[in-house]
Chains A and B, each alone.
Chain A
Amino acid sequence: MTINKVANGKDLTISLAGRLDTTTAPQLDDELKGSLDGVEKLEFDFTKLEYISSAGLRVLLSAQKVMNKQGSMVIRNVSEEINEIFEVTGFVDILTIE
């Protein structure tokens, strides 16, 4: 998985490419831990994300919890297959997917 971050003042956009699974989720978790301080608007771009498992959902849930306290979080360009996982788990109601 590759993680691409673009920071602009209090906005942070993170684009993910590849697979967000058990082996790669810790990478994103570490990346987020070091970057969310002071961020008020977090955006994920999933255009190139091919796969997500529960390990990836856990990281998104912790990011959502952090952002609920300090601003907002949006996920864009979610594929049909990934959206299916969000639906099954009720994540469609927790996350803001645009």
Chain B
Amino acid sequence: MREIVLDAKVENLPQLLSVIDEELEKAECSMKGQMQIDVAVEEIFVNVASYAYEDKSGSCRIEVDTDPANSYVTITFIDEGIPYNPLAKEDPDVTLSAEEREIGGLGIFIVKKSMDKTSYERKDGKNIFSMGYSWA
């Protein structure tokens, strides 16, 4: 397992994604898988960076656990910000026309749709969000 701790700031996103991609490449994850995982990582990390610590600064720990034998990866985000369960957000209606569509609300929906498993837990003052993906 690889662990990375970053200040929860949007400008750290490229650094996070390069670590994620490195691990996925080592595990021989498919291109489609890498793209879907990168998009999901971006959505979750940007959420933490934008909301978890409000005006204060704080960090986010990310754990990347690849299982190449089973073509599976689990990525966990841990922050000590305000309690926030991204999975509680209502899904946007993706059948609406462009005019009726709201700008936003899509990020978490993409995560839920493209990952095989997502979970959230609030424990010891921490938000723990985890997602799993299989490229088998």
Contact = CB atoms under 8 A, between A and B. Distances in A.
Contacts of A55: 42, 46
Secondary structure of the A contact surface, majority rule: helix
B10 A22 contact: yes
Interface in A53-89: 53-55, 57-58, 61-62, 64-65, 68, 80-82, 84-85, 88-89
Contacts, number: 70
Nearest to B10: A22
B14 A23 contact: yes
A94 B97 CA distance: 6
Given A22-B10, A23-B10, A23-B13, A88 B101 contact: no
Interface residues of A, number: 25
B23 interface: no
Interface stretch (B30-38, B52-60, B74-82, B125-133): B30-38
A46 B101 CA distance: 23
6 closest residue pairs by CB, A with B? A90-B94, A54-B107, A81-B35, A54-B106, A88-B113, A94-B98
Interface of A: 21-23, 51-55, 57-58, 61-62, 64-65, 68, 80-82, 84-85, 88-90, 93-94
